[in-house]
Amino acid sequence: MPIKTWVGRFAIVDGQAQEESALLRSFPRQRPDEEEDELYVLVDPATENSKEYAGQLVDAIGRMYRQDTLSITGAVLRALKAAHQQLLDWNERNLKEHRVGAGVSCLAVREHSAYLAQIGPAIAFHVGGGRYQRIVPEGAAGEPLGFDDGAEPVFSRYELAPGDLLLIASPEIEELLDQEALRAILLRGGDDALVELFRLAGGVQNFSLVLLACVVEPDDAAGAEPAPDNTEGLAGATAAAGSELELTGATAAAGGEPELTGAAAGAGDGFAAPRDDATSFSGEEPPYEQTVTDESPPSPPPELPQANVRIKGPESNIRYRRSTGIASGLPQIPPQAIVAVLVLAAIGLLAWFVLPGALEESRDDQFSTLLATASASLETAQESTDPTEKRQALVAAEAAIAEAERLQPDSAEAASLRAQISVERTKLDAVLLLPDLELIIDISERVSGPVSAKDLALGGGGAYVLDREQARVIAISLLGPDPEPFVILEEGDLAGDELVGPPQHIAWAEELGALLIMDSSRRLVSVVPTEAPTLLTVRDADAWGSADGIAYSGGSLYVLDRADDQVWLYLPSETGFDSERRTLLDAFDLDQVVEFAVGEELYLVLADDTVVRFPGSEAFPFTQAGIDIALSSPASLVAVPSAGMLLAADRGNARIAVFTPDGTFLQQLVSPSFNDLRAIAVDEPNSLLYILSGGRLYRTPLPPLP
């Protein structure tokens, strides 16, 4: 029996039921050589002032996602980041009471896989294997989109099995019913749950909901044709569902002023005044939609009107019935046309006997040519030492062999070439599935208050995590099992005679045996485990345009100053870094820099996900030569000079990419634990790799290069 997924949704706007609204929309996307996926975006305005702009926010996120060619997680993350940055820019230019922000839930569906991204006030529920789970973002992820510069979405991935449900809804759902009642409803199954939730929402003025269900359809239903659109009025549907809501009319979105520009807006679409584009619902369509990811739709809930079903898969074979007899529909045929038909028939008979052999011979020649092309491209790939040229040759070989297999699907020669190409492709992709990672600690379960773990540093037998949300630095001992985390420094602590401000950046100083912490006032605090914090001198810190990051390497301090388009280098002194600062860059615009790292070279990560390296004062490209998919939202870079490589935490593609120092791709590390990759660090002496994913800290041996 076929396993299928369907999606039911509805929105209530000012007491009126709609299929979609300004706060809830779906965005299908088709990438080459992949099954179609669809993104459902549900927004909850964080302030009263945000309501009039929420529709544009939904549209901006959806357009950005639909135009992106990245993976599902990469496209969602990029869309949210772009929208977040534009809202931040708007809020910085306006009074606090005019700030715009929102909680966002993004649910992307492809076949039986579901990807959930949440940021700000958002709520979701998952039922799987008979178990019920409430999902809400915490820490920095709990901040509304557009409010906090450190806000980061939380990602979850689900492989759906029959009986599984995934629900995203407006936070008001928890005002409609308590957790036990909601759990009982969801465990009844998708059809019943959708009907009951629609009935309960009848008394709410504004509400949105998307319910994803995985079901098993009987074999005899697999070939059923989609049901026709229901044309009954909504009054009957409301009565059938037991709702007291009068489903008449629709409400349009209100107007506004901020403008969303750049990548988030899509081609020519700005975050300008909202339009009257809320989907109206006047009684000809039901207040929800079911989308089937197989070739036949599930039956809609019996209590609700028939759903409009959009088939994902082979197109339907549509025929139209004539309204009159055959004779009355035939035109008069002139004699000249009859003669022409006879001539064409004669030509057709000739072609019947002559052309098949010629066509078969042509197909054989074409097949041989394609095999030769594939073989030559494969040989080029095997002989090339340039990873970019090697990948291009393999792509050409795959294209040629695919066309050859279309002509002769059962060819043993084509199958042999395909296997050889696959071997070379596997070598080049260099995907290494890491064994089960050692979980050191789940910080969020052991430290009081929400944790928004971000930066990670190692040294002195400990790991240190920067929690900007709670203005603190958390330390974890790595010397024994089951470590107990503790706050090593937080806002308001004393360093010498001065109170420390909110910590902003951290770096481990090996030569000092101390953790360096820079606070919001540009004071550099040295913390040696088990000792009191002390202040270090950094000359001319007040003269920087900004303090956007610090790094430590070879005894020297590096400071990222985006406002002055410079990275400053400080040599050590007796009191810290009381030396003349040196410039590292000749001329480079640092406005788009989001991360930096120092090894044998200086590396800058830009907002467009590209990396630039500086062997000296001039910029050189970090080519990523040979990689299958370019970096997407890299979270941190770590140079490992002793191993001759550089690691990048690639958040958008849920992997750790390994490069040579000049940017040539070497390997990619993957693990099921990389569902919310934040930061990485390397213990070079012990060849250990530490990974921060969500609030969990993992450890694994650093894999050797292929």
* Structure confidence by residue, pLDDT tens digits, 249-280: 333 333 344 444 443 444 333 444 333 343 33
Q: Is residue 231 situated within a structural domain?
A: yes
Measured between alpha carbons, how far is 470 from 489 in angstroms, rounded to an integer? Answer: 11
Are 185 and 110 members of one domain? yes
| pLDDT per residue as tens digits for the range 129-163 | 778 889 988 877 888 888 877 667 888 889 888 88
The band of 336, judged by pLDDT with boundaries at 50, 70 and 90, is low
Rounded to the nearest angstrom, the gap between the alpha carbon of residue 701 and the centroid of all alpha carbons in its chain is 27
Percent of the chain beyond pLDDT 90? 45
Are 385 and 412 members of one domain? yes
Amino acid identity for residue 413 in this structure: E
The band of 352, judged by pLDDT with boundaries at 50, 70 and 90, is low
The band of 365, judged by pLDDT with boundaries at 50, 70 and 90, is confident
Are 380 and 444 members of one domain? no
Pick from 7, 91, 92: which is nearest to 42 by CA?
A: 7
More confident residue, 568 or 223: 568
The pLDDT score that the predictor gives to residue 356 is 55
* DSSP strand pairing (431-433 vs 665-670): parallel
Helix (H, G, I), strand (E, B), or coil: what is residue 47? coil
DSSP secondary structure code for residue 307 in this structure = P
The pLDDT score that the predictor gives to residue 337 is 55
Q: Residue 280 corresponds to which tokens in the numbers above?
A: 């109206």
Measured between alpha carbons, how far is 248 from 225 in angstroms, rounded to an integer? Answer: 30
The band of 340, judged by pLDDT with boundaries at 50, 70 and 90, is low
Are 416 and 450 members of one domain? no
Tokens 């052991």: give the residue.
446
Are 360 and 438 members of one domain? no
DSSP structure string for 179-229: HHHHHHHHTT-HHHHHHHHHHHGGG-SSEEEEEEEEEE--GGGTTPPPPPP
Pick from 154, 69, 75, 161: which is nearest to 112 by CA?
A: 161
Lowest mean pLDDT among 3-7, 36-40, 125-129, 349-353: 349-353
The band of 334, judged by pLDDT with boundaries at 50, 70 and 90, is low
The pLDDT score that the predictor gives to residue 90 is 80
Last residue of a domain, one of 384, 410, 429: 429
Are 445 and 535 members of one domain? yes
Average pLDDT in the 399-405 region? 91
Q: Residue 328 above 70 pLDDT?
A: no
Q: Is residue 334 situated within a structural domain?
A: no
Lowest mean pLDDT among 89-103, 126-140, 580-594: 89-103
Domain count across the chain: 3
Q: Is residue 503 situated within a structural domain?
A: yes
Q: Is residue 161 situated within a structural domain?
A: yes
Lowest mean pLDDT among 59-63, 72-76, 139-143, 579-583: 139-143
Q: Is residue 317 situated within a structural domain?
A: no
Q: Is residue 32 situated within a structural domain?
A: yes
Q: Is residue 452 situated within a structural domain?
A: yes
Beta partners for residue 567, in sequence order: 560
Rg (C-alpha) for the chain, rounded Å, is 30
Last residue of a domain, one of 429, 448, 471: 429
CA distance readout (Å), 335 to 79, 157, 322, 345: 65, 68, 27, 15
The pLDDT score that the predictor gives to residue 360 is 52
The pLDDT score that the predictor gives to residue 116 is 93
Query: What mean pLDDT, rounded, does the chain reach?
Result: 80
Measured between alpha carbons, how far is 426 from 428 in angstroms, rounded to an integer? Answer: 5
Tokens 């080519």: give the residue.
623
Average pLDDT in the 57-80 region? 86
The pLDDT score that the predictor gives to residue 320 is 31
| pLDDT per residue as tens digits for the range 296-317 | 434 434 443 333 333 333 333 3
* DSSP strand pairing (503-509 vs 514-519): antiparallel
Average pLDDT in the 217-226 region? 51
Amino acid identity for residue 147 in this structure: F
Are 163 and 224 members of one domain? yes
Report the CATH number at residue 654.
2.120.10.30
**Residue 509 is inside which H or E element, if any?**
strand 503-509
The pLDDT score that the predictor gives to residue 229 is 38
Are 564 and 638 members of one domain? yes
Are 437 and 406 members of one domain? no
| pLDDT per residue as tens digits for the range 630-682 | 998 888 899 998 889 999 999 889 999 999 999 999 999 999 899 889 999 99
**Backbone dihedral angles phi then psi of residue 281, each to the nearest 5 degrees:** -140, 95
Burial 340-378 (b: 16+ CB within 10 A, else e): eeeeeeeeeeeeeeeeeeeeeeeeeeebeebbebbbebb
Report the CATH number at residue 250.
3.60.40.10
Pick from 513, 563, 521: which is nearest to 538 by CA?
A: 521
Average pLDDT in the 590-598 region? 93
Label residue 95 exposed, middle or buried (CB < 10 Å: 0-12, 13-18, 19+). exposed
Measured between alpha carbons, how far is 367 from 672 in angstroms, rounded to an integer? Answer: 41
User: According to the per-residue pLDDT averaged within each range, which of 236-245, 342-351, 615-624 is highest?
Assistant: 615-624
Average pLDDT in the 528-541 region? 93
Q: Residue 507 above 90 pLDDT?
A: yes
Query: What is the end-to-end Cα distance of the chain in Å, rounded?
Result: 43
Q: Residue 116 corresponds to which tokens in the numbers above?
A: 């959930």
Domain of 596 in residue numbering reads as 433-701
| pLDDT per residue as tens digits for the range 537-583 | 999 999 999 999 999 999 999 999 999 999 999 999 999 999 999 99
Are 150 and 229 members of one domain? yes
Average pLDDT in the 354-361 region? 52
Measured between alpha carbons, how far is 410 from 223 in angstroms, rounded to an integer? Answer: 29
Lowest mean pLDDT among 94-108, 241-255, 340-354, 687-701: 241-255
The band of 78, judged by pLDDT with boundaries at 50, 70 and 90, is confident
Lowest mean pLDDT among 67-76, 144-153, 175-184, 238-247: 238-247
Residues sharing a CB contact under 8 Å with residue 477, sequence separation 6 or more, in sequence order = 461, 462, 483, 484
The pLDDT score that the predictor gives to residue 234 is 35
Phi-psi region of 617 (alpha: psi -120 to 50; beta: other; left: phi over 0): alpha
Residues sharing a CB contact under 8 Å with residue 325, sequence separation 6 or more, in sequence order = none
Are 152 and 244 members of one domain? yes
- Catalogue the E-assigned strands of 566-676: 566-570, 576-577, 582-583, 593-598, 602-606, 611-614, 620-621, 634-640, 645-650, 655-659, 665-670
Average pLDDT in the 197-216 region? 89
The pLDDT score that the predictor gives to residue 239 is 39
Measured between alpha carbons, how far is 285 from 287 in angstroms, rounded to an integer? Answer: 7
Are 518 and 415 members of one domain? no
Last residue of a domain, one of 429, 445, 468: 429
Rounded to the nearest angstrom, the gap between the alpha carbon of residue 519 and the centroid of all alpha carbons in its chain is 31
Q: Is residue 536 situated within a structural domain?
A: yes
The pLDDT score that the predictor gives to residue 682 is 95
